[in-house]
Amino acid sequence: MVEAQKYRIEQEMTNMVNELDRSHLRKMQGDMHRCAARCCDDPNSSLERVHGCIENCTSSLNQANNYVQNEINVLQNRLQRCVMDCNDSARDRLGPDPSQETIDKCTIDFEKCAVKCVDKHIGLIPSMLKTMRKVLASGKPPPARSE
């Protein structure tokens, strides 16, 4: 059951990243490559100047990718904390010398709790995607945020 939940969240995250790639990141990547190619067109530029130009071309895509990765990390950390809370609650109910029946009940309760965590966090993805699209469309991803 845990594997199924892991697969569900991974699929949703993959779908979100693919959507962001199609809607924003791929165009930014194309623009970055075209810009970098133009940097190399001037035969009179110094090596340092060409490298600086290329670095400048990559900065907005790098910021966008860092923003997306940070937002994904924040969601994954929140999910992980939720599941850890489920685990802690189940362990707290076990007691010092639990019977097999108690262990089985706590395991079932943990799994139900973990499914709720996954459902809740999957439910957050649409608004997260909407926000990230808006931020990427603005062309100015904010600096990385902590939780």
Q: Where are the domains of the chain?
A: 1-137
Residue 25 DSSP label: I
User: Nearest Cα to 70, choosing from 5, 128, 18, 134?
Assistant: 128
pLDDT at 147: 58
Mean pLDDT to the nearest integer, 123-137: 94
| pLDDT tens digits, one per residue of 92-124 | 998 888 899 999 999 999 999 999 999 999 999
Side chain identity at residue 50, one-letter code: V
Residue 104, token pair as written in the block: 């089985």
- Residue 17: half-sphere exposure toward Cβ, Cα within 13 Å: 15
Q: Is 98 helix (H, G, I), strand (E, B) or coil?
A: coil
User: Nearest Cα to 142, choosing from 55, 63, 74?
Assistant: 63
Side chain identity at residue 146, one-letter code: S
How far apart are the C-alpha atoms of 130 and 134, rounded to whole Å? 6
How far apart are the C-alpha atoms of 147 and 129, rounded to whole Å? 17
- More confident of the two residues 1 and 128: 128
